[in-house]
């Protein structure tokens, strides 16, 4: 057992093509990370909720075994299909979720609109 850490952070980046999960301690040092591609999924199967669940299960098992993590803050980023399923997988792993934050960037005004069509 490396070092006992009670509380940590989980960063979930859910894109349309992949789901990346990183688990850190409170200071931000990475304890474990994984992706749907690293878990053995290829092509369009990487972008499924099942792939995101598998990634979270593998990483949580590793971190709970090595560090004994019990409580996490979750930071979700991106619009992909792995958003909700990764949260469900964290809860199913027996880890308490103390906070969920959405870090998805939202445009305030966006790009300039197209010029008006003249007929």
**pLDDT tens digits for 13-72?**
999 999 999 999 999 999 999 999 999 999 999 999 999 999 999 999 999 988 989 999
Tens digit of each residue's pLDDT (9 = 90 or more) over 71-97:
999 999 999 999 999 999 999 999 999
Query: Where along the chain do its domains lie?
Result: 7-102
Q: How far apart (Å, rounded) are the C-alpha atoms in residues 53 and 86?
A: 5
Residue 91 pLDDT: 95
What would the DSSP string read from start to end of 31-79? Answer: EEEEETTTTT--GGGGGSHHHHHHHHHHHHHHHHHHT---EEEEEEESS
Q: Indicate the class that CATH gives domain 7-102.
A: alpha beta
Tokens 């075994």 label which residue?
65
The count of other CB atoms within 10 Å of the CB of residue 36 is 27
Look at residue 91 and give its three-state secondary structure: helix
Whole-model pTM?
0.88
Q: Reply yes or no on whether the pLDDT at 2 is more than 80.
A: no
By the 10 Å C-beta count (0-12 exposed, 13-18 middle, 19+ buried), 93 is classed as middle
């Amino acid at each position: 057992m490396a070092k006992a850490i009670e509380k940590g952070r989980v960063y979930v980046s859910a894109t349309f093509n992949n789901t990346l999960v990183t688990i850190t301690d409170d200071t931000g040092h990475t304890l474990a990370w994984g992706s749907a591609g690293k878990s053995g999924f290829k092509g369009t199967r990487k972008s499924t909720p099942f792939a995101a669940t598998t990634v979270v299960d593998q990483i949580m098992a590793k971190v709970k075994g090595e560090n004994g993590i019990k409580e996490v803050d979750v930071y979700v980023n991106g619009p992909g299909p792995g958003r909700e399923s990764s949260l469900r997988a964290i809860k199913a792993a027996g880890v308490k979720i103390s906070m969920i934050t959405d870090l998805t960037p939202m445009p305030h005004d966006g790009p300039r609109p197209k010029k008006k069509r003249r007929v």
